[in-house]
Structure 1
Amino acid sequence: MAGRSGEEADAAMAGVATGGVEDAYGEDRATEDQPVTPWAVCIASGHSLLRDPRHNKGLSFTEKERDAHYLRGLLPPAILPQELQEKRLLQNVRQLEVPLQRYMFLMDLQERNERLFYKLMIDNVEELLPVVYTPTVGEACQKYGSIFRRSQGLYISLKDKGRVLEVLRNWPEKSIQVIVVTDGERILGLGDLGCQGMGIPVGKLALYTALGGVRPSACLPITIDVGTNNEELLNDEFYIGLRQRRATGQEYTELLDEFMVAVKQNYGQKVLVQFEDFANHNAFALLDKYKATHLVFNDDIQGTAAVVLAGLMAGLKFAGGTLADHTFLFFGAGEAGTGIAELVALEISMQSKTSQEEAHKNIWLVDSKGLIVSSRKDSIQPFKKLYAHEHEPVKDLLSAIKDIKPTALIGSAGVGQSFTKEVIEAMSSITETNHPCAIQPNIEI
């Protein structure tokens, strides 16, 4: 408050008490006639305002705003509208040929001018989405330690056990609506990236704002660091996480339990916790464990399933009949494949008034070892056993198609070029009247 008259200080504090004008995100913002930043608890400081990514407007600040917020001299004299700044930034992005450089450029923009970042994203979704998220975010996670500049979320590690609530309270925003959390064990198709998996929650929440309109301040990316089994990262001098083997069993469970309790305690009953890129053995267990007590969601299991089910139901207009009239073969039996299969079974049971167990009979899965059949029950993961039907062992997809004769083939294995010419011809030859179809969803939406 130094450097201002008593009248200015009184007016400023009155502005804090009464609030300013709501912006597009539903938050208070300053007006040209109000020399205070009403979203803060103190008088606006030009220097700090320019370093606040949420409220910094860069060269878009008008003459009156520059005077009101003590910005005069801290910016070049030119005043550029947001649209012109966007045009300049888009030119700069396009001049960068390396995708990772584009990613770093956009992350730097998000850290200094959040509104301009989302304006750029919203207006150029098709061009920039592959930079901010897949596939470029995968390389960014692999090299996260080397390109790390500024923390964009919360890191909760085994060192914080017993203090997780305290860590959550260190985050400046209190009205959190969506948390995307990962433990980094199965990042995209890249495997265990440990603490460096943070790029996934950050990128996913950026899409929720750009495409879904969720307020950035309501989003919280979190990485649960329980170590990594990636030897390359453990030996990397720039690795930013715990240098230890990945914790399992009771130690892992207790940290996750403490985290989930603290989340509800700090942010309330309605906060959405999205589990992202957890390994299969934890993903299904966590979703099943907390679905009765928390608002939880797993994009890999449930999000992809919803999109594929919508595609199947739309396809019925051409194939005819109901879902119960068709036989489904899945190439891939991980989180995506079994998640889709379970939702399809649920929809069949609801439409045909039968049990889900009965609906499972028309759903077959192929994993890396071949068709999932009853003779494999002792060696497969629990979530696959529902689809272990009586059949002779089959080693490959083409043979499974010829034996099962599915009318719908769904690929969720993340293995490229699996739907070969022979596979498509085999599907087409099953029967012309059934109009068989093949779906290969992008399992990392």
Structure 2
Amino acid sequence: MANSRPPAGLTGLALLNNSQYNKSTAFTEDERERFKLRGLLPAAVSSQRLQTELIMENLRRKAYDIERYILLMALQQRNERLFYRVLLEYIEEIMPLVYTPTVGQACREFAHIFRQPRGFYITPTDRGDIFDILDNWPERDVRMIVVTDGERILGLGDLGANGMGIPIGKLALYTAFAGIPPAQCLPVMLDVGTDNQMLREDPLYLGTRQPRLRGADYLALVDEFVAAVQLRYPRALIQFEDFLTPNAYTLLNRYRNKALCFNDDIQGTAAVALAGVFAACRTTGKAFETLKILFLGAGSAATGIGDLVQFALVAAGLTPDQARKRLWFADVDGLLVAGREGLAPHNRPYAHDASPAGVIEAIERIKPQVLIGATGSPGAFGERIIRTMASINERPVIFALSNPTERAECSAEQAYRWSEGRALFASGSPFAPVLMNGKTLKPGQGNNAYIFPGIGLGALACQATRISDEMFLKAAEVLADSVADDDLRQGSLYPPLSQLREVSLKIAAAVAEVAYRQGLAKAADRDIRIETIRAMMYDPVY
């Protein structure tokens, strides 16, 4: 719960400048006397509800989403409880501003809209000193860390230190939807340089102006960071975010059995996509274990989904070989097949014995019920692709997961129009409802925010020592079960965003149960129920 009482000695302007305890004009007459605020505020005493409405009035006055983003970040810097109340009460309107799609533009322009430092930066010159400099961070009880090196920000590529907007945004969602107190959250940028020449030549760029650190030196820096976190913050969970595919897999495999960590692009994306597939089966009437799935894109997100789907198919009774044969991948060069040169290790298990084929031919040959896009390539699902899927499926399942919105493989309107309104569509970023054949279809947003807050909350609640694949499978099942029949009738494969906090609670309780069952939990109290976890959560109301 939020601690509304400032610590002893925090008074006057210091209190008004402290984002954790500041209430601004909502300080009562008695509080103004006790905390030496008389004369420092206008006479009127506001309610937090009135402050919330004022923020929304000012927000809606702005002409551009990036301006709204700047306003919200400024609010977070001066009054974090008001920021989180605004986010929770107006989630449908605010979430696209603090995260995708607006966070993509915010990262591209990060140095140009920079106002005040937020988060922690580690550079190659900090080798040997990371444990010591972490002591500069003012909070001692850090529980949740989101870290990136900025090399693959959404579908936008190498943004270097500008990628700090991603950890900041993800942790805002952790607090809003999982109730992790802001003081326990630490955004981290591993600023190891950038290969984006335009950034290095930008006089306003705030990051290290050198080509990216690679190889053994890069791994040594990350090794030191993970070790320093484990010593400095022994109860912290590390979430890896937006690393380039080879590094994403290397780091996940390097630390997953040594530290409390996961990779959201690989595992979080996988769980939210799998949940959408589970939900789609309720509409199509197809048994999950009978599905054939074609992925367009073969990076960390796509193969991460494939790995978890394979895990789920095995849990449903298939052998690993049978499960893999139901999953096919294609990239810009066509179908991934055995014998193709240059396949990455994470792709090889899905390169089947088959002749090469383009995407259209692959769909006609494989006849998949589900098409999942994680390409970062806008328009990758052209009209022929959608129409071909619709020609072989009464209800084709189309996932255009690339972020931000401008990078989506197709829009909701295109998927519906090209399938005569029959597609079951989900995307990574939000799309507006579409009127089709006299019916309003509400496309679901396959946002990782449905998964990672609950995973993190559950792991922290039971003091998990590791994050397992079973936890992500259980999270996907819980999320799919949270989709109401009315949601499905409206075309959505996910529950409304307004239910995110309750969904996170359900996932957290299920994750804790899995952790205890697998012997991965240290908390003595095994009775981790939803209400027990709810009592732990940060409440932004004052």
Shorter chain as normaliser: what TM range?
0.7 to 0.9
Q: 2:420 aligns to what?
A: none
**CA deviation after TM superposition for structure 1 residue 176, in Å:** 1.2
Q: Distance in 1 between matches of 2:53 and 2:428?
A: 32
Q: Does 1:362 align with 2:326?
A: yes
Q: Distance in 2 between matches of 1:307 and 1:254?
A: 32
Q: 1:308 aligns to what?
A: 273
**CA deviation after TM superposition for structure 1 residue 207, in Å:** 1.2
**CA deviation after TM superposition for structure 1 residue 327, in Å:** 1.4
SS in 1 for 2:190: strand
Q: Distance in 2 between matches of 1:194 and 1:209?
A: 25
Task: Show CA shifts across 1:302-332 (max 9, x none).
Answer: 1111111112122223434533322111111
Q: Does the Cα contact within 8 Å between 2:151 and 2:244 map onto a contact in 1?
A: yes
Q: 1:209 aligns to what?
A: 175
Question: Match for 1:418 among 380, 383, 391?
Answer: 380
Q: What is the identity, as a one-letter code, of the residue corresponding to 1:177?
A: R
Question: Match for 1:371 among 313, 329, 335?
Answer: 335
Q: 1:290 aligns to what?
A: 255
Q: Distance in 2 between matches of 1:360 and 1:229?
A: 36
Q: Does the Cα contact within 8 Å between 1:414 and 1:443 map onto a contact in 2?
A: no
Question: Match for 2:109 among 143, 146, 149?
Answer: 143
SS in 2 for 1:189: coil
Q: Does the Cα contact within 8 Å between 2:289 and 2:318 map onto a contact in 1?
A: no
SS in 1 for 2:86: helix
Q: What is the identity, as a one-letter code, of the residue corresponding to 2:39?
A: G
Q: Distance in 1 between matches of 2:96 and 2:242?
A: 18
SS in 1 for 2:330: strand
Q: Distance in 1 between matches of 2:380 and 2:189?
A: 33
Change (3 A) 1:350 1:156: same
Q: 2:10 aligns to what?
A: 44
Q: Does the Cα contact within 8 Å between 2:144 and 2:185 map onto a contact in 1?
A: yes
Q: Distance in 1 between matches of 2:323 and 2:295?
A: 15
Q: Distance in 2 between matches of 1:68 and 1:242?
A: 46
Change (3 A) 1:188 1:431: closer
**CA deviation after TM superposition for structure 1 residue 431, in Å:** 5.6
SS in 1 for 2:325: helix
**CA deviation after TM superposition for structure 1 residue 425, in Å:** 2.7
Q: Does 1:168 align with 2:128?
A: no
Question: Match for 1:386 among 333, 349, 370?
Answer: 349
- What is the TM-score of this pair, normalised by structure 2? 0.72
Q: Does the Cα contact within 8 Å between 1:304 and 1:443 map onto a contact in 2?
A: no
Q: Does the Cα contact within 8 Å between 2:141 and 2:184 map onto a contact in 1?
A: yes
Question: Match for 1:113 among 79, 102, 111?
Answer: 79
**CA deviation after TM superposition for structure 1 residue 278, in Å:** 0.4
Q: 1:56 aligns to what?
A: 22
% identical equivalent positions:
46
Q: 2:464 aligns to what?
A: none
Q: 2:399 aligns to what?
A: 439
Give ranges in structure 2 of 5+ residues lacking alignment.
Answer: 402-426, 430-446, 448-542
Task: Show CA shifts across 1:174-224 (max 9, x none).
Answer: 111110000000011111111111000001111111222221111110000
Task: Show CA shifts across 1:160-182 (max 9, x none).
Answer: 11000112111111111110000
Q: Distance in 2 between matches of 1:220 and 1:129?
A: 20
Give ranges in structure 1 of 5+ residues lacking alignment.
Answer: 1-23, 31-36
Q: Distance in 2 between matches of 1:327 and 1:100?
A: 40
User: Superposed, which structure 2 residues align to 1:215-364 within 5 Å?
Assistant: 215-268=181-234, 270-354=235-319, 356-364=320-328
**CA deviation after TM superposition for structure 1 residue 135, in Å:** 1.2
Q: Distance in 1 between matches of 2:257 and 2:101?
A: 34
**CA deviation after TM superposition for structure 1 residue 416, in Å:** 3.0
**CA deviation after TM superposition for structure 1 residue 440, in Å:** 2.8
Task: Show CA shifts across 1:420-444 (max 9, x none).
Answer: 3332332233365xx5433333447
Task: Show CA shifts across 1:218-247 (max 9, x none).
Answer: 111000011000101101111111110000
- What is the TM-score of this pair, normalised by structure 1? 0.88
Q: 2:366 aligns to what?
A: 404
Change (3 A) 1:199 1:431: closer
Q: What is the identity, as a one-letter code, of the residue corresponding to 1:366?
A: A
User: Superposed, which structure 2 residues align to 1:120-199 within 5 Å?
Assistant: 120-199=86-165
Root-mean-square deviation (Å): 1.6
Q: 1:15 aligns to what?
A: none
Q: Does 1:98 align with 2:52?
A: no
Q: Distance in 2 between matches of 1:318 and 1:121?
A: 32
Task: Show CA shifts across 1:74-107 (max 9, x none).
Answer: 1111111111111111111101011111111111
Q: Distance in 1 between matches of 2:247 and 2:164?
A: 18
**CA deviation after TM superposition for structure 1 residue 73, in Å:** 0.8
Give the number of equivalent residue pairs: 405
Q: What is the identity, as a one-letter code, of the residue corresponding to 1:372?
A: L
Which stretch has the larger CA shift, 209-218 or 254-263?
Answer: 209-218
Q: What is the identity, as a one-letter code, of the residue corresponding to 1:295?
A: L
Q: What is the identity, as a one-letter code, of the residue corresponding to 1:340?
A: I
Q: Distance in 2 between matches of 1:420 and 1:233?
A: 32
Q: Distance in 2 between matches of 1:46 and 1:318?
A: 59
Q: What is the identity, as a one-letter code, of the residue corresponding to 1:92?
A: N
Q: Does the Cα contact within 8 Å between 1:228 and 1:234 map onto a contact in 2?
A: yes
Query: Computing the radius of gyration over CA atoms, which structure comes out larger, 1 or 2?
Result: 1
Q: What is the identity, as a one-letter code, of the residue corresponding to 1:390?
A: D
Q: What is the identity, as a one-letter code, of the residue corresponding to 2:279?
A: A
**CA deviation after TM superposition for structure 1 residue 368, in Å:** 1.6
User: Superposed, which structure 2 residues align to 1:59-70 within 5 Å?
Assistant: 59-70=25-36
Task: Show CA shifts across 1:134-157 (max 9, x none).
Answer: 111111111111211111100011
Change (3 A) 1:139 1:439: closer
**CA deviation after TM superposition for structure 1 residue 390, in Å:** 1.1
